[in-house]
Amino acid sequence: MIRRPPLLAIAILACGWFGPCLSWTPAQELQPEQAAQEQSAPAGAFDLPESLDQACSLLQNIQLERLFQANSLESWLAALVAITVGLVAGKSAATVLAWLGRRFERRGWAVWQHLVVGLAGPASLFLLAAGLATGTLSFLKLGDFATFWQRTLLLVFTISVLWYAYDLVPIAELMVRRLTTRTGSVLDQQLAPMIRKILRIFLVVMGVLFIVDSVFDQDIGAWLAGLGIAGLAVSLAAQDSLKSLFGSLTILVDRPFRVGERIVYAGYDGTIEEIGFRSTKVRTVEGHLVTIPNSVIVNEPIQNIGRRPHVRRAFNVAIPSGTPRARIAEAIQILRRVLAEPGIREPIHPKTGSDEFVPRVHFNEFNAESLNIQVVYWHSPPVYWDYLEHAQRLNLRIFEAFEKAGIEFASPGRKPSPAGDSKRQQAPELLEKELR
């Protein structure tokens, strides 16, 4: 279906037809009082009539009958043919483009559909204006009316181009929606309508300024200065809102986190629930909902736990300080063997690129009451509850292997017994340090 031009374009077109007429009067028809008023009026000012009678009198001063007398019948017929050709060509182009748009829509080619359907209306108007320009400027002698008519045609051409640009804005919105569909972010979902509105407002403002400057020959310097002062006043009055807006744009560009990812920020540990234009909402592990302004969150360090490639676990296995060297070596071998067992090994040999993270087991410290064996491994994928389940399974398997081998765990705060004492009690000490 062919869309009709925006109401603003129709209003501008009406101004293009009647605005210059209301302010244009042939010099020979001016009364002395009117000539004195025009000489005293500032340059570029519109002399709008104060009543309908004045408007009608000014329109009558154009004296269109002189146009008919200055041109032959053949010239008028040639102009009429050119105008008719332009009208028929515009209607035909609109019909063909609308048909192509329906075919593209059935095939699912949304971008091509917008390209051709959006061109249908502007192409019809453009070809009509081309027919008018060819028929009137090539075959008719317009005299004093030529300047006004040329500006009117320029206005029509300008509106047709701006109309097509206005109809192309949904293509940018469609492309942004395709890019943001997979994120699930509220900020991304709001981005496409915001871009559509900004682009359309920009096109309308630039179109009006161009028409005022080129068609109506008005000085837009004062307008631009006024817009600059108004923009400065608004920016000073809305500093906090603008900071949040720029913070939202920073999040949108840098992507430090996404909805569903777990982060640690300013002591808050939780999952991103929503990213808006003003703030970001985080659901903490305690269940609280924390709202953080975007202007603040982009200026502080953020730990994105959701993007870690693995979970690193480092813990100590403490055995009594009187344990012989051979038993220490045996304990190390037991730990390495347990880490390599099926069911234990698979999640703790992750690869990052070409590097494989192999579990590490080392006898690293002498303590007053124990000997320390450090175990380090990396669990992947970094799903926290799967990691805890694996850690529990590994701990029980280590306990079982040490119990079968007769190797005891050191008990904190208890004086070590001689090596080989069968009455010594077994107690595990797993000192874990998890880097989340």
- Per-position DSSP letters for 124-150, written without gaps between them: HHHHHHHHHHHHHHHH---GGGHHHHH
Question: Where do runs of H (alpha helix) occur along 140-185?
Answer: 146-180
| Whether residues 281 and 346 fall in one domain | no
Give the largest Cα separation in the chain, rounded: 131
292: β partners: 280
User: Cα(409)–Cα(427) distance, rounded to whole angstroms?
Assistant: 5
| Whether residues 293 and 214 fall in one domain | no
Residue 105 lies in a domain: yes
* Nearest alpha-carbon partner for 408 in 394, 425, 391, 390: 425
| pLDDT on residue 11 | 47
| Whether residues 280 and 135 fall in one domain | no
User: Cα(240)–Cα(248) distance, rounded to whole angstroms?
Assistant: 12
Answer for the pair 276, 293: CB distance below 8 angstroms, yes or no: no
Q: What is the pLDDT of residues 234-258, one digit of tens each?
A: 666 666 667 777 777 788 778 888 8
**Cβ atoms within 10 Å, residue 333:** 12
| Whether residues 313 and 293 fall in one domain | no
| Whether residues 149 and 267 fall in one domain | no
Answer for the pair 347, 379: CB distance below 8 angstroms, yes or no: yes
What predicted TM-score, i.e. pTM, was given to this entire model? 0.49
Per-residue three-class SS string for 105-119: HHHCCHHHHHHHHHH
Q: What torsion, rounded to 10 degrees, do the Cα atoms 220, 222, 225, 229 define?
A: -130
Answer for the pair 397, 338: CB distance below 8 angstroms, yes or no: yes
Residue 87 CB burial class (10 angstroms; 0-12, 13-18, ≥19):
middle
| Whether residues 173 and 201 fall in one domain | yes
Rounded to an integer, what is the distance from CA 240 to the centroid of its chain? 21
Domain edge (last residue) among 228, 259, 279:
228
Query: Could you tell me the two tokens for 219?
Result: 């000085």
Give pLDDT < 70 ranges for the chain. Answer: 1-65, 67, 178-192, 234-241, 352-354, 412-436
| pLDDT on residue 421 | 45
| Whether residues 345 and 404 fall in one domain | yes
* Nearest alpha-carbon partner for 148 in 92, 79, 202, 217: 217
| Whether residues 425 and 413 fall in one domain | yes
Residue 59 CB burial class (10 angstroms; 0-12, 13-18, ≥19):
middle
Element (H, E) at 69: helix 65-70
Residue 1 lies in a domain: no
Residue 243 lies in a domain: no
| Whether residues 332 and 348 fall in one domain | yes
| pLDDT on residue 226 | 73
Residue 222 lies in a domain: yes
Distances in Å between the alpha carbon of 206 and those of 162, 165, 168, 192, 200?
A: 9, 12, 16, 21, 10
| pLDDT on residue 154 | 87
Q: Look up the CATH number of the domain holding residue 281.
A: 2.30.30.60
| Whether residues 106 and 223 fall in one domain | yes
Number of domains in the chain: 3
| Whether residues 165 and 26 fall in one domain | yes
Its domain, for residue 318, covers: 308-435
Domain edge (last residue) among 228, 262, 285:
228
| pLDDT on residue 133 | 87
Residue 262 lies in a domain: yes
Domain edge (last residue) among 271, 306, 341:
306
Positions of E strands within 6-133: none
| pLDDT on residue 32 | 47
**Residue that is written with structure tokens 């063997």 in the block:** 337
| pLDDT on residue 310 | 87
Residue 180 lies in a domain: yes
| Whether residues 216 and 161 fall in one domain | yes
What is the rounded radius of gyration, in angstroms, for the C-alpha atoms of the chain? 40
Dihedrals φ, ψ of 41, to 5°?
A: -75, 145
